[in-house]
Amino acid sequence: MNLLAIDTSTKYLCLGMSQGARVFSYNLEVEKKLSALLTVTIQRALEAAGLKLEDVDYFACGLGPGSFTGLRTGVAAIKGLSWALKKDVLGIPSLDIIARNAGTTDRPIAVIVDAKRNLLYCGFFKNEDGCLKRIKPYMLLSQEEFFKKVSAGSFILGDGVGLYQEALIRHVRGATLLDKDAWYPKPHHLVALALERFKDKKLNNTFDIKPIYLYPKECQIRTVRSS
């Protein structure tokens, strides 16, 4: 089975492919150049694996929450490819991908991603019976609201750590703050999650896939225009 998966929720283009037992990983810092680099990067990755687009059996993409513009670009690209090639597709929340960077710890896991406006996109997870499970809904929280919801002793990761490191140390008892290498989605975790969900037949209709936006609708338009 050949899989192509991308996540564009952060400043990095996270691209992973699986070809049987082989996994290819690409992480490219694109910032505001995503639209110009996405198609060419996908093409180069396929060529490196000796594949053509028509050889891809399944597509997957990160759904955020994260960069509004980045998510729209990435999700639209995968929806277009899956529809044109009539291939199955799957959407995966980006916070789930980042949470896997915490490893198999038995401590609570909190993912915090910069949502601008002094807010954080938050996901809360725990490893149970060898599986990473989300234990609360995805949330858009202020720093103070996050402190009230996070469990003591949590592993905390995501680029929000870089913004609020000192406050996290002061307010979250026994927290372990993971370093920058664990703040962003990694292609091999994206591929692994996609393969697990494809195996469980958790597929999506191409037109049902939508980015996860936690901001109220009246805020999203203004945020997109300023990005």
How confident is the model at residue 32, as a pLDDT? 86
The model carries a pTM of 0.93
CATH class given for the domain over 95-182: alpha beta
How confident is the model at residue 177, as a pLDDT? 98
How confident is the model at residue 224, as a pLDDT? 39
CATH class given for the domain over 2-94+184-226: alpha beta
How confident is the model at residue 125, as a pLDDT? 98
How many angstroms separate the Cα of 199 from the Cα of each of 74, 195, 202, 203?
Answer: 23, 6, 8, 9
How confident is the model at residue 57, as a pLDDT? 95
How confident is the model at residue 120, as a pLDDT? 98
Strand stretches in the chain, DSSP E: 2-7, 12-19, 22-29, 58-62, 88-92, 109-114, 119-128, 131-134, 139-142, 155-157, 176-177
Provide the residue ranges of all domains of the chain, joining segments of one domain with +: 2-94+184-226, 95-182
How confident is the model at residue 219, as a pLDDT? 59
How confident is the model at residue 130, as a pLDDT? 87
How confident is the model at residue 220, as a pLDDT? 53
**Block means of pLDDT (10 residues each) for the chain, length 227 residues?**
96 96 94 92 95 96 96 96 95 98 97 97 96 97 98 98 97 97 98 92 86 79 40
How confident is the model at residue 207, as a pLDDT? 85
Within this chain, domains 2-94+184-226 and 95-182 share the same CATH topology = yes
**What b-and-e string marks burial along 103-132, b requiring 16 or more CB atoms within 10 Å of the CB?**
eeeebbbbbbbbbeeebbbbbbbbbeeeeb
